[in-house]
């Protein structure tokens, strides 16, 4: 019989049970997990696979301009902020008040395959994603954008090859800002999604692990806790890494009996998976 804390919209634990029967729908009444969010994150993960197998001619938008690539190549400015990508990196670094109050730049720095609040930004197309993933210059500048936002949040990228992050010297002040302004939770979700979409998914899990530690272990970022569990963990595309993050979260979540982001029978060791 299926556990009440399994989620029909979460593929993290597929193939974890030996001889498992097909998943049944879970009663929403018995689960405290936000099913709408789980479905949203499942849809995101599904949108990031099989780009090489997709026929680009089926994407009507692929025939137009690649605005996000043009922006990252420095050919066009963002709108409505009217800033080139290099100007963002050079002139906006450390401008914390501007980064906090201006709401339109994040859609240009971290584009997605979905409409954002800035209607003057552009959704990624499938063809554009394929090109971006192969473009070393564009990806290098995306990493610079990532570093800029990490600094804004009081974090630094300690290792570009592994994605390991750590607290920056100014972390106490920046963490206060994060706890005070929760709209940054949406920005961080966007950043994680963008990194996965555009070929930098190895940066996802280290950042989520950092936030899990800061929320569940040391408790410095309590205003992010729900977003870390609902959104950040399930933006991670690599299933093995996602499983390890959920295990880490379960280990440090209190009280454990209220943990709803994974099957407790597996997480507690009551059922041994064939892939752990």
pLDDT digits (tens, 9 = 90+) for 107-139: 999 999 998 999 999 999 999 999 999 999 999
Q: Give 269's pLDDT tier (boundaries 50, 70, 90).
A: confident
Q: Identify whether the C-beta of residue 13 lies closer than 8 Å to the C-beta of residue 6.
A: yes
H runs (alpha helix) in 153-182: 171-180
d(CA 39, CA 33): 11
What Å distances lie between residue 209 and 11, 31, 121, 216, 268, CA to CA? 19, 25, 30, 10, 19
53-74 pLDDT, tens digit per residue, is: 545 555 555 567 999 999 999 9
| Alpha-carbon span 133 to 33, nearest angstrom | 33
3-state secondary structure of 275: coil
pLDDT value of position 58: 52
Radius of gyration of the chain from Cα atoms? 19
List phi, psi (to 5°) of 155: -130, 150
Give the pLDDT score at 91.
98
pLDDT at 7: 76
Three-class secondary structure of residue 105 per DSSP: coil
Q: Judge whether residue 28 has pLDDT over 90.
A: no
Average pLDDT over the chain, rounded to whole? Answer: 89
Higher confidence at residue 226 or residue 34?
A: 226
- Split at pLDDT 50, 70, 90, the class of 276 is very low
User: Could you tell me the pTM of the whole model?
Assistant: 0.90
- Using 50, 70 and 90 to split pLDDT, how confident is the model at 1? very low
């Amino acid at each position: 019989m299926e556990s009440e804390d399994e989620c029909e919209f979460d593929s993290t634990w597929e193939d974890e049970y030996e001889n498992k029967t097909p998943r049944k729908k879970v009663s929403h009444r018995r689960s405290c997990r936000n099913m709408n969010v789980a479905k949203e994150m499942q849809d995101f993960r599904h949108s990031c696979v099989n780009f090489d197998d997709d026929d680009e001619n089926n994407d009507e938008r692929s025939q137009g301009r690649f605005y996000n690539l043009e922006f990252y190549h420095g050919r066009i400015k963002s709108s409505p902020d009217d800033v080139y990508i290099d100007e963002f990196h050079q002139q906006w670094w450390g401008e914390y008040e501007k980064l906090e109050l201006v709401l339109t730049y994040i859609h240009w720095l971290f584009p997605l395959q979905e409409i954002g609040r800035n209607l003057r930004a552009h959704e990624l197309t499938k063809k554009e994603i394929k090109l971006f993933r192969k473009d070393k210059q564009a990806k290098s500048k995306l990493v610079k954008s990532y570093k800029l936002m990490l600094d804004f949040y009081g974090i630094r990228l300690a290792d570009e090859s592994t994605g390991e992050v750590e607290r920056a010297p100014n972390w106490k002040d920046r963490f206060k800002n994060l706890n005070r302004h929760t709209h940054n939770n949406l920005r961080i979700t966007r950043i994680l999604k963008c990194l996965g979409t555009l070929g930098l998914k190895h940066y996802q899990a280290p950042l989520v692990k950092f936030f899990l530690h800061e929320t569940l272990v040391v408790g410095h970022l309590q205003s992010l806790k729900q977003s870390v569990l609902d959104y950040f963990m399930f933006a991670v595309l690599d299933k093995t890494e996602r499983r390890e993050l959920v295990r880490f979260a379960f280990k440090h979540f209190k009280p454990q009996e209220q943990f709803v982001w994974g099957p407790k029978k597996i997480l507690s060791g009551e059922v041994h998976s064939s892939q752990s």
